[in-house]
């Protein structure tokens, strides 16, 4: 009994000291501000035995590769955790689920390559702000993250920072399980377009930052997607806009949009004559969209199709001549047979010709032409080479 009491006492003493009074190695603990700081201490893992009073935990500039499922326990006072620049590459399932009051999580400046689908799950969805700026290692990690955002039950999330991640595309529906999201930062990525459906489900969005990406223009899909967001604040500055006719739809959108866009920073990067010109208010002629230009474009396509047609016809002609050449013996035989046949009928046609041209007949002119042509065909068959045949026909017909 005595021993048990002594152990209990010692246990309480130890726990009290460990959790409330002592500070983990490499860290500084501030009971008054209820914060713990472990800054650039080269820690290989997250510190254990963080005092229970802590509300804010700042662990930055260390060498922590992995956040384990049990990295944080018994810390239900914690509301803010800053884990930036720790080289974290892996987040296990339920990494933060013991932190039932966690509102602010900063994972910026890490190299998250493996994110468990339930890494961000916390009972009661307390998380309001998640900073993943410069934290997503590559495209596979983005896919992992998309799953984690979906499975994490982050219904309370208000702010999400995904800036500086080299993102080239966003999976459609990536944010659809964040129904209360208000601010989405996607600046300093490599986005060139936005698929339709990318922002579906984010019905409470108030701020969307797409500045400093790789947008040259916005296609109809993207504009439609942005239009669905209504009159929110959208930052679109510092993109390499190319002010050619293709940007027309975007200029019209800027002209008419209800959204609160940072139009002052939305400027052309090229062509040279429009460098730094503000996009909103640009006229159709300024971006080279006037009718003659479109005419030239159609002319060019027409010319191209004519050239193509010519090539095809030329090819067909060559094949035809080649076939003729291969059949030259048969042809010669056929011509000789025709010539003999023509010689036989020539006299008959001659006779009909004389009847047809008789001035007493008035309705025979067509058959007379036919006769002349056929007669001349026979004459050619009897004597002439190929080309004079046509000329012969013409001469005789026009001579009528």
Binding site for ligand NAG (CB under 6 A): 52-53, 74, 76-77, 84, 106, 108, 113, 131, 133-134, 137-140, 159, 161, 164, 166, 185, 188, 248, 251-252, 255, 281-284
Closest CA relative to residue 213, chosen from 250, 163, 176, 171: 163
Least separation in angstroms between CB 153 and ligand NAG: 21
Least separation in angstroms between CB 131 and ligand NAG: 4
Looking at beta carbons only, is 138 or 305 nearer to ligand NAG? 138
Looking at beta carbons only, is 216 or 248 nearer to ligand NAG? 248
Looking at beta carbons only, is 289 or 346 nearer to ligand NAG? 289
Least separation in angstroms between CB 318 and ligand NAG: 49
Least separation in angstroms between CB 123 and ligand NAG: 15
Least separation in angstroms between CB 14 and ligand NAG: 15
DSSP 8-state class, residue 45 = S
Strand positions, DSSP E, 46-164: 56-60, 66-67, 80-82, 90-91, 104-106, 114-115, 129-131, 159-161
Name every residue whose Cβ is closer than 8 Å to that of residue 24 and which is 6 or more positions away in sequence.
36, 38, 47, 48, 49, 50
Under DSSP, is residue 162 helix (H, G, I), strand (E, B) or coil? coil
Q: Alpha-carbon distance 216 to 206, whole Å?
A: 24
Reported as type and span, the H/E element at residue 337 is: helix 328-356
Q: Phi and psi for 318 in degrees, rounded to 5?
A: -65, -40
Q: How far is Cα of residue 2 from the mean position of the Cα atoms in its chain?
A: 73
Least separation in angstroms between CB 256 and ligand NAG: 8
Under DSSP, is residue 243 helix (H, G, I), strand (E, B) or coil? coil
Least separation in angstroms between CB 254 and ligand NAG: 8
Looking at beta carbons only, is 138 or 327 nearer to ligand NAG? 138
Q: Alpha-carbon distance 21 to 54, whole Å?
A: 11
Looking at beta carbons only, is 45 or 140 nearer to ligand NAG? 140
Least separation in angstroms between CB 284 and ligand NAG: 5
Looking at beta carbons only, is 105 or 193 nearer to ligand NAG? 105
Q: Alpha-carbon distance 82 to 84, whole Å?
A: 6
Which residue sits closest to ligand NAG, CB atoms considered?
52
Which structure tokens are listed for 129? Answer: 């702000």
Q: Alpha-carbon distance 261 to 283, whole Å?
A: 19
Looking at beta carbons only, is 113 or 396 nearer to ligand NAG? 113
Looking at beta carbons only, is 55 or 379 nearer to ligand NAG? 55
Looking at beta carbons only, is 77 or 265 nearer to ligand NAG? 77
Closest CA relative to residue 162, chosen from 192, 142, 140, 177: 142
Least separation in angstroms between CB 8 and ligand NAG: 18
Q: How far apart are the first and last CA of the chain?
A: 142
Q: Alpha-carbon distance 238 to 221, whole Å?
A: 21
Looking at beta carbons only, is 74 or 303 nearer to ligand NAG? 74
Q: Phi and psi for 115 in degrees, rounded to 5?
A: -120, 115
Omega cis (within 30) before 271 = yes
Least separation in angstroms between CB 303 and ligand NAG: 28
Helices (H) and strands (E) in the chain, counts: 8, 16
């Amino acid at each position: 009994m005595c021993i048990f009491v002594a152990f209990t006492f010692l246990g309480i003493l130890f726990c009290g000291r460990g959790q409330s009074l002592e500070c983990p190695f490499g860290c500084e603990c501030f009971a008054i501000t209820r914060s713990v700081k472990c800054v650039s201490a080269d820690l290989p893992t997250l510190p254990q035995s963080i005092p229970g009073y802590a509300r804010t935990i700042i662990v930055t500039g260390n060498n922590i590769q992995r956040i384990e499922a049990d990295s944080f326990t018994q810390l239900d006072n914690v509301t803010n955790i800053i884990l930036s620049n720790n080289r974290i590459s892996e987040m296990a399932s339920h990494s933060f689920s013991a932190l039932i009051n966690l509102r602010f999580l900063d994972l910026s400046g890490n190299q998250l390559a493996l994110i468990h689908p339930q890494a961000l799950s916390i009972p009661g969805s307390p998380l309001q702000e998640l900073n993943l700026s410069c934290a997503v290692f590559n495209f596979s990690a983005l896919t992992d993250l998309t799953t984690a955002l979906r499975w994490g039950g982050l219904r309370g999330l208000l702010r999400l920072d995904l800036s500086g991640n080299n993102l080239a595309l966003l999976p459609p529906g990536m944010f659809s399980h964040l129904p209360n999201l208000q601010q989405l930062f996607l600046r300093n990525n490599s986005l060139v377009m936005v698929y339709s459906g990318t922002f579906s489900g984010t019905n409470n969005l108030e701020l969307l930052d797409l500045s400093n990406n790789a947008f040259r223009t916005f296609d109809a899909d993207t504009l439609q997607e942005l239009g669905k967001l209504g009159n929110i604040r959208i930052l679109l500055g510092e993109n390499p806009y190319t002010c050619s006719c293709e940007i027309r739809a975007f200029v019209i959108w800027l002209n008419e949009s209800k959204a609160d866009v940072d139009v002052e920073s939305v400027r052309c990067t090229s062509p040279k004559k429009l460098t730094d010109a503000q996009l909103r208010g640009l006229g159709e002629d300024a971006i080279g969209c006037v009718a003659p230009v479109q005419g030239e474009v159609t002319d060019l396509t027409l010319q191209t199709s004519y050239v193509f047609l010519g090539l095809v016809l030329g090819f067909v002609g060559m094949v035809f001549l080649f076939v003729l050449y291969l059949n030259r013996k048969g042809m010669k035989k056929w011509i000789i047979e025709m010539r003999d046949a023509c010689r036989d009928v020539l006299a008959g046609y001659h006779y009909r010709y004389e009847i047809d041209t008789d001035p007493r007949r008035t309705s025979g002119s067509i058959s007379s032409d036919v006769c002349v042509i056929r007669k001349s065909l026979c004459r050619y068959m009897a004597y002439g080479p190929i080309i004079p045949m046509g000329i012969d026909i013409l001469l005789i017909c026009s001579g009528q």
